[in-house]
Amino acid sequence: MGRHQWIANAGRRKTLGSGHRKEEHVLSILIPGFGSLTLDHLVLDYNGTLAVDGVLVPGVKEALNTLSETIAVHVVTADTFGLAAEGLQGVNCKLTVLEKGSQDQAKADFVNRLGPDRTVSIGNGRNDALMLSASGLGIVVILAEGACSVSLNAADVVCTDIIHALDLLMHPLRLTATLRS
């Protein structure tokens, strides 16, 4: 599938006997007309989502580190500019750089292995659409790179700023205001 690398130690993970890990959920919210969300994993694209031209957007490192205290943060990327590992130094996340070919399916498979109903995904590109659709909550962001219309249609929420998208997870009543019927 791709290369995996822990960028920094996420302090919320606990090792149990036999090396098994127990993950705690971060977000439980009932949204009238949408349903109940209990989310353990945050899966993000890198370029166009967390970074512009390979450079991490200001404020993203701090927001991801705050979120990583209660949710497992995963960055799954094609790494177009080859700068993801460098850009994510000091961020509590697991980086997966995908091999060429079928990256859209590889991202969806990644979410499905984590448990799609317990995953929130954030992306912008065409290769993020299946991941956004598979996730319990899909958020598309529109930064300088733009967003693919297929991904826009696959998402539950659209944000024009990655910090605003991450803030939705830190202030979940904003999700209620956006998604309730």
Phi-psi region of 146 (alpha: psi -120 to 50; beta: other; left: phi over 0): left
> Looking at the 3D structure of the chain, how many domains does it have?
1
Question: Does 102 reside within a domain?
Answer: yes
Residue 20 placed within a domain: no
Does the residue 67 lie in any domain? Answer: yes
| Whole-number Å distance between alpha carbons of 145 and 1 | 25
Contact 11, 5 (CB under 8 A): no
Looking at the domain assignment, is residue 21 inside a domain? no
pTM of the model: 0.87
Task: Assess contact for 74 and 41: CB atoms under 8 A.
Answer: yes
The answer to whether 140 and 158 are in contact (CB under 8 A) is yes
Residue 12 lies in a domain: no
Task: Give the residue numbers spanning the domain of 133.
Answer: 2-6+27-179
pLDDT tens-digit series, residues 44-72: 999 999 999 999 999 999 999 999 998 99
For residue 69, tell me if it sits in a domain.
yes
Partnered with residue 41 across adjacent β-strands are 72, 119
Q: What is the CATH number of the domain that holds 99?
A: 3.40.50.1000
Tell me the per-residue pLDDT of 101-143, one tens digit each, with 9 for 90 and over: 899 999 999 999 999 999 999 999 999 999 999 999 999 999 9
